[in-house]
Amino acid sequence: MKILISVDIEGIAGVFNVEQTRPGNGEYERARRWMTEEANAAIRGAFAGGATEVLVNDSHGSFRNLLADDLDPRALFVLGKPRYLGMMGGLDPECDGVMMIGYHSRAQGRGILAHTINSFAFARVTVNGLELSEAGLYGALAAESGVPVILASGDDVFIDENRDLFTRARWVQTKVAYGHASGVTMAPSEVQASIEQAARLAVQDCAEPSVAAHSHPHLVVPPLECLLTTQGPAIADLFCTWPALTRLDGVTVRFAAASMQDLIRMLNSLSAMSFMLR
């Protein structure tokens, strides 16, 4: 049984401030260690539940935050960028389930450090009329390959936003959001224990014939239309130099995609383009 674990940092227990998510300071070094330990908890639980192969995808920022020498050596690690599948690097139809660890609320949401892919450039991402977070976008990408999300962890707002999208998932709440950079956190050690237990049960669920046979419907069905609200007109100006995009108003652009993989690749390319305006 093959499991992919995608790990972000904003939803990790104890993480509240943007300084904790950016390299070059002691707060980040502490946060990346918590991130690594939550990844380890998911790895332990997955193997205890019956997984025979586990891939761990570093899914934050530069995609090289996890402390590789401290990760459980039974797993394989997906690090660095660029990569076509972004936060789902390592995904293939052979995977039996995806775990999303340390994920966060969507842009314009009320969760801790809420954003969608690129907080500088993207204000809202809507696909076929459905506003999606990173979890929703990448969960739809997994569904396109027939792979269900079986476990997700993050703050209470993240869970509320995504619970109805992933009906097979087990959920671990890491903290309660009071605002963008405030709230109440559970102790990292307690969250790690909860993730380990939930991961074990989630993989055991995958082995149950009645559960494994349950179809995992696509969240969105091609053809796809993405409406991307940018953080300002200058960013929309830049994006519309790409002929595939249509300008709808001062801050909104539209593009079509034949698949979620194409849509994700387009969003990540636009995100990379935006760095010229920073």
Which of 212, 234, 265 terminates a domain? The answer is: 212
Domain that holds residue 271: 224-277
pLDDT at 93: 93
Phi/psi of residue 183, nearest 5 degrees: 160, -160
Q: Kindly report, residue by residue over 193-226, the tens digit of the pLDDT.
A: 999 999 999 999 998 876 554 545 678 999 999 9
**For tokens 């102790």, what's the residue?**
187
Q: Kindly report, residue by residue over 7-50, the tens digit of the pLDDT.
A: 999 999 999 999 999 999 999 999 999 999 999 999 999 999 99
Same domain, 204 and 255: no
Same domain, 64 and 187: yes
Same domain, 55 and 143: yes
pTM over 0.75, yes/no: yes
Same domain, 30 and 69: yes
pLDDT at 211: 57
Same domain, 108 and 244: no
Is 247 within a domain?
yes
Same domain, 228 and 105: no
Question: Mean pLDDT throughout 152-164?
Answer: 98
Is 77 within a domain?
yes
Which of 212, 233, 254 terminates a domain? The answer is: 212
Is 236 within a domain?
yes
Same domain, 166 and 50: yes
Is 121 within a domain?
no
Phi/psi of residue 88, nearest 5 degrees: -110, 20
Same domain, 208 and 236: no
Which of 212, 238, 254 terminates a domain? The answer is: 212
pLDDT at 214: 52
pLDDT at 213: 44
pLDDT over 90, % of the chain: 95
Same domain, 29 and 146: yes
Q: Kindly report, residue by residue over 94-129, the tens digit of the pLDDT.
A: 999 999 999 999 999 999 999 999 999 999 999 999
Is 111 within a domain?
yes
pLDDT at 203: 98
> How many structural domains compose the chain?
2
Backbone dihedral region for residue 25 (phi beyond 0: left; psi -120 to 50: alpha; all else: beta): beta
Q: Kindly report, residue by residue over 161-199, the tens digit of the pLDDT.
A: 999 999 999 999 999 999 999 999 999 999 999 999 999
Same domain, 53 and 176: yes
The CATH number of the domain holding residue 192 is: 3.40.50.10780
Going through the chain in order, the beta strands assigned E by DSSP cover 2-7, 53-58, 76-78, 97-103, 122-127, 130-131, 149-155, 170-179, 182-185, 224-230, 246-247, 252-257
pLDDT at 207: 86
Distance (Å, rounded) from C-alpha 112 to C-alpha 11? 7
pLDDT tier for residue 259 given thresholds of 50, 70 and 90: very high
Tokens linked to 28:
């980040």
Is 187 within a domain?
yes
Same domain, 50 and 178: yes
Is 173 within a domain?
yes
Is 183 within a domain?
yes
Q: Report the amino acid identity of residue 77.
A: F
Same domain, 205 and 251: no
Distance (Å, rounded) from C-alpha 36 to C-alpha 148? 23
Strands 76-78 and 97-103, by their bridges, are unpaired
pLDDT tier for residue 247 given thresholds of 50, 70 and 90: very high
pLDDT at 218: 76
pLDDT over 70, % of the chain: 97
